[in-house]
Amino acid sequence: MKYHFNEIEAKWQKFWLENETFKAENESSKPKFYVLDMFPYPSGAGLHVGHPLGYIASDIYARYKRHKGYNVLHPQGYDSFGLPAEQYAIQTGQHPAKTTEENIKTYRRQLDQIGFSYDWSREVRTSDPEYYRWTQWIFIQLFESYYCNDADQARPISELVEVFNQEGNQSINAACDEDVPIFSEIQWKNWTDVEQEMVLAKYRLTYLSETEVNWCPELGTVLANDEIVNGVSERGGFPVVRKKMKQWSMRITAYAQRLLDGLEKIDWPQPLKDSQRNWIGRSEGAMVRFKVKNLNEEFQVFTTRPDTIFGVSFMTLAPEHELVEKITTPDQQQEVEDYVMATSKRSERDRMSDVKTISGVFTGAYAVHPFTGEDVPIWIGDYVLASYGTGAVMAVPCGDQRDYDFAKHFGLEIPNIFKDQDISESACEDKSAVIANSDFISGMDAATAIRRIIDEMEKRGIGQGKINYRLRDAVFSRQRYWGEPFPVYYDNGVPRIIDEKHLPLRLPEVEKYLPTSDGKPPLGNAKSWAWCTKTETVVSNDLIDQKSVFPIELNTMPGWAGSSWYFNRYMDARNRTSFTGKKALEYWRDVDLYIGGSEHATGHLLYSRFWQKFLYDRGLVPVDEYAKKLINQGMILGTSAFVYRLEGENTYVSQTLVGDQKVQPIHVDVSLVNASNELDVEAFKRNTLNKETRQARFVLDDGKYIVGREVEKMSKSKYNVVNPDDICKNYGADTLRLYEMFLGPLEQAKPWNTAGISGVHGFLKKLWKLYHNNEEGIFSVSDAEATTEELKTLHKTIKKVDEDIANFSFNTSVSSFMIAVNELTAMKCDKRAILEPLIVLISPYAPHIAEELWEKLGHSKSIASADFPVFEESYLIESTKEYPISFNGKMRFTLELSLDLSREEVEKIVLADERTVHQLGGRTAKKVIFVPGKIINVVG
RNA sequence: GCCUUGGUGGCGGAAUUGGUAGACGCGCUGGAUUCAAAAUCCAGUGAUCGCAAGAUCGUGUGGGUUCGAUUCCCACCCAAGGUACCA
């Protein structure tokens, strides 16, 4: 009987679905294990072979854990809000919900045909109102909270109001905007409701503020920093400009330190942790106040080297610094204005790419050195960024290379404050240099000097120690249609929350998905988008009277809102009274294994950690890190194919004949090229839409057109996308699963090349044959006792697979299966005692064939719950070893020796061997190294 | 520049604590089967020299430690990813 993979796979996929084989229970006597994939955005293009890589790995892990007796939660869903569906809606008028629905259907079909063991009863979709009502609910919780620095956690904002009522904000130590005034309880009570609300907004964990944002005019929306790549939008590659807008922000900065500390206790890849650390960008130093000479103004600088303060010879402000205008002297006015203007015209990108040019202008003003009282000239320069620190630096040219370059360029003083350091060529940035010429800190090393100077600054009220972060609060508004609406309306400009009992606040219908003609977000097109506080319903905009009917927020939430908590929802996906039930949360707690791409390092994976910590603070979840272990799967690259068109001619030359001719390489669809890089010229002509190409001349080499190859990212535009559907159809899902794993280490990027697929497919056929090992090809196994050799093969494989799965080394377990099947085939093994455990071993990797053979072996229940074979060391114990005999480290021959032999006996046997005599060629052996069970090395 | 990861046959990639480098698969070569093909099976396959036995070289480069180094140490080169006038 042949291996009919199509029938077998369809049969078992249906079986799993009908029997709910992979449904996880929220109560179980088994230990729990939660395996999570990063859920996909259902794009119109469907899945390509790169997408399932991580899913296959996590599926193997989930199935393995089930065999090992765990209650496994392995869910899947869709991150279904997002730009492409909306762009498509703009172009075609099709409602994004409809496009999304269709795309999800395609995804589901593609996922199903690969045979994943998902518990689909827990599916989530971020665009489903039953899901996003809880996203809105979490937003409300954030709005109703502030961050108490003393308790180091988020607390209800009502507690803050209570304190304000009793004693104002003088003793409050909370994360807040920098411009919060100190006020008493009397002032607080005297403020109007609106005034109070404005103060509270400065403490809330989500707040409305006028912020400088990355505005993308082409997309009509703001973008987060991580949505911008090389100064243009990640999606579409459109230019991005800085613009001030009123936006919702998330006070993620309150969590900067905890997000940093939390990395210590989670098992995530080092590069990923590093990029999060980098992104958070903690630096320790001091804030120092400088007075402006002859003016009643002062400004602060942040420095990591307060110990070098006696080396300050000038100050540099960012051109955008608010003080620039106030302190510039009349005779410098023109020059400064010109410079500020010139800088503002330069795009961020310009400023970034041009790092070598030194520019700046003297303001004419002087600061007063806080220790020496000397005059320090104040300059402006675009190497100082308004967005980092205070937008001002104290320049220490002898200790900082940029300050040094600036000083050299403008002929400013470079006083040396380091003992025995030559600064004639460059600055001394070495922290071990001893401080000199610096009053009371002379002679100290940097660490001591920093402590001493901060003490002194705090004593004299000049400055204080400070930890600065690069992390900014996250902008949370998008001017889009296809996202979660904010449960917020505006009472005369003051944001008010729509009570949680009215959630979900559903997306309104609009006629057009574009921004309105007066520049409002797409929700501005909605006719009914006002909140009536009397009926507590959404009503027509015509009824807005600013008394009881108010306009609703027009922005929507960003893509990362829904994905910041979905892992909790899976635990209890159908709960209608809570975002996730307490019991479910207590049972599942956190994700044991999370698999996904590294591109989310500073986006999703940082925001979701932030939300989880917040939910934890408010007692809503039991743990403050939601994923114990995370694995990044590497990208599968496409192997693009190229044809070469002679420049200026309608002629294509085979790659082998290009030589020195001037040619233009053109991408050609990889499906038209065979494994030997030959192009199907006729099909190429047939498929092209270009008339000219159809008439083109093809210069062949020996009757063949050979294409050029290059490994690139898999993408539609490069015509190198390989669709998993074809592979499932031609080779089967089990082959696809095995092949994707066999390709190489999970975490490494690797090129897709279909050429090798016949190898794993052949393996499955061989495996099938092992169970149908007779002339007629009928299934048969024998109940005879297994031989020592057969048991050895089995147990060696069990050991290897256990180790490999623990190390996420799936590629090597596939080869160990091949070895096992090769060996058993050679032994003509047909013993149930071997073949039954063997198929359980393979089942996580190739579940369909495993189920089929399991059934043939006489089992009525799914193999999914079969016990994993237990490794027995005793089967591997050997009495002899084929020792490699080396001479001076070079292996020359092998010798089979009993493992019981003593060191002396081994030495005697080896030295007596004639090959040893030959190798030594008359020399005498000086020494014999004997490592029992490993090697024998003769030194001579 | 900085951080991280990596560099092994024609290709994807193996190699436990330093112990037979190249497992497994692809490709290639030869053979069996077949009218032929597909499929399947068998043998060979790092390079160079040699009829062979065998020898020499070989894990990015150069050095070191060691009886022995793909593995450890030092310096450098290259590639990929992240990040950046971060004070």
> Going by C-beta distance under 8 Å and a sequence separation of 6 or more, which residues neighbour residue A862?
A15, A16, A19, A21, A851, A854
A818: nt with nearest C1' to CA: B24
List the A756 CA – B26 C1' distance (angstroms): 5
Q: What span, in angstroms and rounded, lies between the C-alpha atoms of A199 and A184? A: 13
Does residue A343 form part of some domain? yes
A726 three-class SS: helix
> Which nucleotide shows the minimum CA-to-C1' distance to residue A386?
B86
The CATH number covering residue A905 comes to 3.10.20.590
The torsion angle over the Cα atoms of residues A720, A724, A728 and A730, rounded to 10 degrees, is -10
Confirm whether any atom of chain B, the nucleic acid strand, is less than 7 Å from CB of A401: no
- Nearest nucleotide to A883 (CA to C1') is B20
A35 contact partners, CB below 8 Å, separation of at least 6? A58, A61, A62, A65, A72, A73, A74, A591, A592, A593, A595
For the CA of A746 and the C1' of B70, the distance in angstroms is 21
- How much of chain A, in percent, has pLDDT values that exceed 70? 96
Locus of tokens 């090395």: A937
Strand B contact at CB of residue A393, distance < 7 A: yes
Residues 6 or more apart whose CB falls under 8 angstroms from that of A830 comprise A770, A773, A780, A781, A782
**A663/B80 CA-to-C1' distance in Å:** 28
Residue A747 (CA) to nucleotide B60 (C1'), in angstroms, measures 22
pLDDT (tens digit, 9 = 90+) per residue, A120-129? 999 999 999 9
Note the CA–C1' distance, A892 to B56, in angstroms. Answer: 14
Cα–Cα distance measured from residue A444 to residue A435, given in angstroms and rounded to the nearest whole number: 6
A916: domain range?
878-939
In the block, tokens 């989500």 appear at: A206
| A290 and A426 inside one domain | yes
User: Which of residues 916-935 of A have CB within 7 Å of strand B?
Assistant: 919, 927, 929, 931, 934-935
Q: State the pLDDT confidence band at A885, using cuts at 50, 70 and 90.
A: confident
Q: Round to a whole number and report the distance in Å from the CA of A865 to the C1' of B80.
A: 41
Res. A575 pLDDT band, cuts 50 70 90 = very high
Query: How many domains would you assign to chain A?
Result: 5
Q: How long is the CA A594 to C1' B76 vector, in angstroms?
A: 38
- pLDDT tops 90 at residue A935: no
In angstroms, the CA of A653 and the C1' of B3 are apart by 45
**Contact yes or no for A841/A869 (Cβ under 8 A):** yes
Residue A384 resides in a domain = yes
Q: What is the pLDDT of residue A230?
A: 61
Label residue A264 exposed, middle or buried (CB < 10 Å: 0-12, 13-18, 19+).
Answer: exposed
Mind listing the pLDDT tens digit for each residue in A157-180? Answer: 999 999 999 999 999 999 998 888
Would you say residue A663 has pLDDT above 90? Answer: no
- Whether nucleic acid strand B comes within 7 Å of the CB of A283, the answer is yes
For the segment 332-351 of chain A, residues whose CB is within 7 A of strand B? 351
Q: How far apart are CA A599 and CA A635, in angstroms?
A: 10
- For residue A883, what is the enclosing H or E element? strand A880-887
Give A155's contacts (C-beta < 8 A, 6+ positions apart): A145, A146, A147, A148, A617
Helices A733-742 + A52-67 axis angle, to 10: 100
Distance CA A108, CA A76 (A): 10
Cβ atoms < 10 Å from Cβ of A550: 22
Residues 467-486 of A with CB under 7 A from strand B: 470
Give the whole-angstrom CA distance, residue A153 versus residue A479.
31
ipTM of this complex prediction, to 2 decimal places = 0.93
CA atom of A890 to C1′ atom of B50, Å = 21
Average pLDDT, chain A: 88
A525-A526-A527-A531 Cα dihedral, nearest 10 degrees: -130
How long is the CA A939 to C1' B74 vector, in angstroms? 28
Residues A852 and A911 in one domain: no
pLDDT exceeds 60 at position A912: yes
User: Measuring from the CA of residue A814 to each C1', which nucleotide is nearest?
Assistant: B24
Q: Does the C-beta of A819 come within 7 A of strand B?
A: yes
Q: Residue A751 forms beta bridges with which residues?
A: A637
User: In this predicted model, what pLDDT tens digit does every residue of A407-421 receive, in sequence order?
Assistant: 988 989 889 988 888
CA A647 to chain centroid: 42
Looking at the fold, whether A848 and A789 belong to one and the same domain comes out as: yes
Residue lying closest to nucleotide B6, CA to C1': A748
> Left if phi > 0, otherwise alpha if psi is -120 to 50, otherwise beta: which for A439?
left
Read off the pLDDT of each residue in A859-886 and give the average, rounded to a whole number: 89
Calculate mean pLDDT across residues A310-331. 90
CA dist., res. A169 & res. A185, Å (int) = 8
**Quick one: A426 and A521 in the same domain?**
no
Cβ burial A756-786 (10 Å sphere, 16+ → b, else e): ebeebbebbeebbbbbbbeeeeeeebeeeeb
How many angstroms separate the CA atoms of A420 and A416, rounded?
10
Give CA–CA dist A667/A660, Å, rounded: 20
At residue A420, the pLDDT reads: 82
pLDDT of residue A226: 61
- Output the distance from A909 CA to B48 C1' rounded to whole Å: 35
Does residue A98 belong to any structural domain of this protein? no
- Asked if A384 CB < 7 A from strand B, the reply is yes
Q: Cα separation of A624 and A262, whole Å?
A: 8
Does residue A754 reach within 7 angstroms of strand B, measured from its CB? no
Backbone angles phi, psi at A227, to 5 degrees: -95, 5
pLDDT of residue A345: 67
Nucleotide nearest to A809 (CA to C1'): B14
Same domain, A796 and A833: yes
Residue A835 to residue A347: CA distance in whole angstroms? 67
Chain A 559-578 residues in 7 Å CB range of strand B: none
Question: A885 and A920 share a domain?
Answer: yes
Least-confidence region, from A232-246, A473-487, A572-586: A232-246
Q: Is residue A361 part of a domain?
A: yes
Within a domain: A48: no
Give the three-state DSSP class for A9: helix
Q: Which nucleotide is nearest to A747 (CA to C1')?
A: B5
Asked whether residue A602, judged by its CB, lies under 7 Å from any atom of the DNA or RNA strand B, the reply is yes
Domain boundary residue, one of A871, A900, A922: A871
DSSP-based three-state secondary structure for A821: helix
Residue A346: the pLDDT is 63
Query: Could you say which of A522, A554, A586 is where a domain stops?
Result: A554
Phi, then psi, of A903 in degrees rounded to 5: -55, -45
Q: Is any atom of nucleic acid chain B found less than 7 Å from the CB of residue A281? A: yes
- Tell whether A315 and A456 lie within a shared domain: yes
What DSSP string runs through A609-641? HHHHHHHHHTTSSS-S-SBSBEEEPPPEEEEEE
Distance separating alpha carbons of residues A133 and A485, to the nearest angstrom: 9
Q: In this predicted structure, what is the pLDDT of residue A853? A: 95
The 3-state DSSP composition of chain A as helix, strand, coil percent (nearest 5) reads 40, 20, 40
- Average of pLDDT values for A695-706? 77
Domain end position, chosen among A413, A436, A469? A469
Nucleotide nearest to A304 (CA to C1'): B87
- For residue A772, what is the domain's CATH number? 1.10.730.10
Do A858 and A781 belong to one domain? Answer: yes
Is the pLDDT at A218 greater than 60? The verdict is: yes
How do residues A551-562 score in pLDDT, each as one tens digit? 999 999 998 999
Provide the pLDDT for residue A590.
Answer: 95
Identify whether A546 is part of a domain.
yes
How far, CA to CA in Å, does A543 sit from each of A344, A486, A516? 43, 20, 20
Over residues A856-885, mean pLDDT: 90
Question: Would you say the C-beta of A628 is within 7 Å of strand B?
Answer: no
As a dihedral over the C-alpha atoms of residue A718, residue A723, residue A726, residue A728, rounded to 10 degrees, the angle is 150
The answer to whether residues A306 and A389 belong to one domain is: yes
Instruction: Calculate the dihedral angle through the C-alpha atoms of A398, A404, A406, A409, rounding to the nearest 10 degrees.
Output: 110
Q: Any bridge partners for residue A898, and if so which? A: A880
Per the DSSP assignment, residues forming a β-bridge with A467 are A284
Summarize pLDDT for A243-260 with one digit per residue, the tens: 777 889 999 999 999 999
Q: Within a 10 A sphere around the Cβ of A413, how many other Cβ atoms?
A: 13
Q: How confident is the model at residue A434 (pLDDT cuts 50, 70, 90)?
A: confident
Token pair in block for residue A737: 């699963």
Tens of pLDDT, residue by residue over A708-733, are: 777 777 777 778 888 889 899 999 99
The tokens describing A642, both together, are 């190229």
Q: Is the pLDDT of residue A233 over 80?
A: no
State which residues between 435 and 474 of chain A bring their CB within 7 Å of strand B. 470
Whether the CB-CB separation of A76 and A123 falls below 8 Å is answered with yes
Q: Is A35 inside a domain boundary?
A: no
Mean pLDDT for the stretch of residues A771-775: 81
Residue A147 is predicted with a pLDDT of 95
Interatomic CA distance for residues A465 and A709, integer angstroms: 57
Question: Residues of A from 245 to 274 whose C-beta is within 7 A of strand B: which are they?
Answer: 270-271, 274
Q: Nearest residue to nucleotide B24 when comparing alpha carbons to its C1'?
A: A815
CA A264 to chain centre: 17
User: Is the pLDDT score of A603 beyond 70?
Assistant: yes
Given a contact cutoff of 8 angstroms between Cβ atoms, the answer to whether A42 and A80 are in contact is yes
Q: Does residue A294 carry a pLDDT above 60?
A: yes
What is the Cα–Cα distance from A902 to A884, expressed in whole angstroms? 17
Chain A window 796-815, residues with Cβ within 7 A of nucleic strand B: 809, 811-812, 814-815
Q: Cα dist. A731→A674, A688, A724, A750 in Å?
A: 17, 28, 10, 21
d(CA A212, CA A475): 10
- pLDDT tier, A496 (very low <50, low <70, confident <90, very high otherwise): very high
Residues A822 and A886 in one domain: no
Residue A349 pLDDT exceeds 70? no
Share of chain A above pLDDT 90, in %: 51
Is residue A173 assigned to a domain? no
Contact A636, A750 (CB under 8 A): yes
All residues at 6 or more sequence positions from A117 whose CB lies less than 8 Å from its CB, including other chains:
A16, A21, A22, A59, A62, A63, A66, A74, A847, A864
> CA at A893, C1' at B48: how many angstroms apart?
22
Determine if strand B comes within 7 Å of the CB of A676: yes
Nucleotides in chain B near protein beta carbons (<7 Å) = 3-5, 11-16, 19-21, 23-28, 39-42, 55-56, 67-69, 80-87
Q: Are residues A843 and A883 in the same domain?
A: no
Arithmetic mean of pLDDT, A834-862: 95
Can you read off the two tokens belonging to residue A723? 């669709």
8 A C-beta contact, residue A862 and residue A15: yes
Which domain CATH number covers A410? Answer: 3.90.740.10
The nucleotide lying nearest A756 (C-alpha to C1') is B26
Q: Is the CB of A695 under 7 A from strand B?
A: no
On whether both A353 and A423 belong to a single domain, the answer is yes
Point out the nucleotide closest to A356 (alpha carbon to C1′).
B85
